[in-house]
Amino acid sequence: MKKFISLALFFISVSVFSQIKGKVISIKDGDTVVVLLAGNTQQTLRLAEVDCPESSQAFGKNAKAYTGSQVFGKTVTFYTVGKDRYGRSVAGVFYDNDKYLSREIVKAGFGWWYFKASKNTELQKLQDEAKQKKLGLWADRNPVSPWDFRKAKNKKKTTPAKSKSTGAKAVK
């Protein structure tokens, strides 16, 4: 029985933590890429431990361009750590002799360390260094984190407009 349990745990750990290779065929934004796997299947990967500016946000296009310059067209190795609320695989992505993509993005100043989902304090240190050197988005006088940007954008969508004449809420 112990052998059976040990064997089962081994196969579970191998399948959960196995590394997969794929070619990056699309960059959706600074922290989301699409890879082509064996069998011509595509998988969308949300990068683990980093949150880049939204496409419509300051430095969003820069973050996408930076990510593309690092991995577009390259074969990468990744391991999934879970799924996000949109069903995308959250993954650690490695390229060019084991460079960790999330680390490189934070180091270059094109993304925030996503501390809500990461315990990797090295990324905090790299973020602080990028901030001090005013790299990437840290050149902005008042950079807004993507989570604050999304929150403000959602708040605008849900706040009812007021009528100019009476101050009453408009009906949509």
The catalytic residues are: 46, 54, 88
Strands 42-47 and 89-95, bridge-based pairing: parallel
Please tell me the total number of residues recorded for the chain in this structure.
172
Extract long-range pairs of 151-160: CB within 8 Å, 24+ residues apart: none
Q: Give the Å distances, CA to CA, from 130 to 60, 64, 110, 113, 157.
A: 17, 18, 9, 11, 33
Burial class (CB in 10 A: 0-12, 13-18, 19+), 42: exposed
Residue 12 is encoded by which pair of tokens? 């579970």
